A and B are shown apart, each in its own frame.
Chain A
Amino acid sequence: SYELTQPPSVSVSPGQTARITCSGDALPKQYAYWYQQKPGQAPVLVINTDTERPSGIPERFSGASSGTTVTLTISGVQAEDEADYYCQSADSSGTYVVFGGGTKLTVL
Chain B
Amino acid sequence: EVQLVQSGAEVKKPGESLRISCKGSGYSLTSFWISWVRQVPGKGLEWMGRIDPGDSYTNYSPSFQGHVTISADKSISTAYLQWSSLQVSDTAMYYCARRYNSSWFDYWGQGTLVTVSS
B-side interface size class:
20 to 34
Contact string, A81-108, partner B, CB cutoff 8 A, digits 1/0?
0001010100000111111111000000
B59 surroundings in chain A (CB, below 8 A): 95-96
B45 touches A43 (CB 8 A): yes
Per the bound structure, the CA–CA distance linking A42 and B50 in Å amounts to 18
A48 touches B104 (CB 8 A): yes
Is A1 an interface position by the 8 A CB rule? yes
Is A61 an interface position by the 8 A CB rule? no
Interface of chain B residues 71 through 117 with chain A (CB within 8 A) = 95, 99, 102-106, 108-111
A-side interface size class:
20 to 34
B103 touches A33 (CB 8 A): yes
B105 touches A45 (CB 8 A): yes
Known A86-B45, A96-B61, A99-B44: A33·B104 in contact at CB below 8 Å:
yes
Per the bound structure, the CA–CA distance linking A7 and B68 in Å amounts to 30
User: In the complex, what's the smallest C-beta–C-beta distance from A56 to chain B, in angstroms?
Assistant: 12
Not counting A42-B111, A45-B106, A99-B45, a sample of 20 additional A-B residue pairs whose C-beta atoms are within 8 angstroms of each other reads A1-B63, A31-B103, A33-B105, A42-B108, A42-B109, A43-B105, A43-B108, A45-B104, A48-B103, A86-B45, A88-B45, A94-B102, A96-B47, A96-B61, A97-B47, A97-B99, A99-B44, A100-B44, A101-B44, A102-B45
Closest 10 CB pairs of A and B: A42-B108, A97-B47, A102-B44, A33-B104, A99-B45, A48-B104, A101-B44, A86-B45, A45-B104, A42-B95
